[in-house]
Copies of this chain bind each other. A is one copy, B any other.
Amino acid sequence: MKHLIDPMDISIDELESLFKLAEEIIKNEDDFNNICSHKILATLFYEPSTRTRFSFEAAMLRLGGQVIGFSEPGSSSVMKGESIPDTIRTVGSYVDIIAMRHPKEGAPRYASYYSQVPIINAGDGGHQHPTQTLTDLLTIKRTKGQISNLTMGLCGDLKFGRTVHSLIKAMSRYENIKFILISPQELQIPEYIKMEILNKKNIPFIEVERLEDVIDKLDILYMTRVQKERFFNEADYIRLKDSYILDKEKLKLARKDLSILHPLPRVNEISYEVDEDPRACYFDQVEYGMFIRMALITKLLGVM
């Protein structure tokens, strides 16, 4: 592993070794807090994403490293005038590793061809966001003890959510996974994922419209937002909208050992009252996001 561009670039073995390292860091963080000293991360954010940027920067600082970068239109416009290869070769002279966020699909891959230092894709348009997928997988592993033998519900906008697509692809490599896909009809998972991933690998899945009908069957519930604008007609929206809001009432139907995940930020799809429920894992997920980035940076820099 030299760069991380697509979550599927990593083999299951590399994933395991990454999770193991993340868990070591969680257990003994102090042992790692100088491991990247004198190393520099560049955060090249051609579009703003404060959460993701903070997660990378905190990860690097907690490893004893340092950070330079840009995150706002003003600065990045300067760099936009020049080609990505030139920018990457320049920045690669200054730093040891680069996290790149770009509105254009494929930009981080293209950058990696010219880079003398590791590139991490920190999100490229609607395409990939591999460290989010790693975060999701580590959260599942930590809360369920394994990433296999699980019934996973994915709820909300399953058509446009890149997070959900990447997660299904990643989970499909593990054993005995069942998916319950909960969405309005117009926001169902794309055909190509059913054909090329689920059917091809004989992974069982069902598609339903209402969360309350299936919540009692789930080990994991992965919530995402449903935007009103995505619905074809107002009537459907009014009929269904409450089905995609997780609240105390619906949670009463769920198992005691359910794990609720959400990539955040949320709007209203999880009620605040749910935050206090021990099954809510989405703030732990935020922390795991930082720890998996710490593990990833450590691996890519080859300092362990």
Whole-angstrom CA separation of A154 from B258 in the bound complex: 61
Interface residues of A in 36-74 (CB under 8 A from B): 38, 40, 42, 48-51, 53-55, 57-58, 61-62, 64, 66-68, 70-74
Whole-angstrom CA separation of A259 from B98 in the bound complex: 29
* A50-B75, A86-B265 known; A93-B283 Cβ under 8 A: yes
Whole-angstrom CA separation of A54 from B89 in the bound complex: 13
- Which residue of B40, B74, B76 contacts A61 across the interface (Cβ within 8 Å)? B40
* A81-B265, A283-B89 known; A94-B58 Cβ under 8 A: yes
CB of A79 closer than 8 Å to a CB of B: yes
Given A38-B62, A82-B266, 10 additional A-B pairs, CB 8 A: A38-B64, A48-B77, A48-B78, A50-B78, A58-B95, A71-B74, A74-B74, A89-B286, A93-B283, A93-B290
Q: How many residues of A contact B (CB 8 A)?
A: 49
CB of A232 closer than 8 Å to a CB of B: no
CB distance from A244 to the nearest CB of B (A): 18
Q: Are A265 and B71 in contact (CB under 8 A)?
A: no
Q: In the complex, what residue of chain B is closest to A285 when comparing beta carbons?
A: B93
Q: Are A266 and B62 in contact (CB under 8 A)?
A: no
Ordered by A's residue number, 22 sampled pairs between the chains whose C-beta atoms are within 8 Å are A33-B38, A38-B64, A40-B61, A40-B62, A48-B77, A50-B76, A51-B79, A53-B75, A54-B91, A57-B68, A58-B68, A58-B95, A71-B75, A72-B72, A72-B74, A73-B74, A82-B267, A86-B264, A86-B266, A89-B286, A90-B283, A93-B290
CB of A287 closer than 8 Å to a CB of B: yes
CB of A272 closer than 8 Å to a CB of B: yes
Q: Are A49 and B78 in contact (CB under 8 A)?
A: yes
Set of chain B residues within 8 Å of A72, measured between Cβ atoms: 72, 74-75
CB of A204 closer than 8 Å to a CB of B: no
Set of chain B residues within 8 Å of A50, measured between Cβ atoms: 70, 75-76, 78-79
Q: In the complex, what residue of chain B is closest to A77 when comparing beta carbons?
A: B48
Fill in one digit per residue for A258-278: 1 if any B CB lies within 8 Å of its CB, else 0. Answer: 000000111100001000000
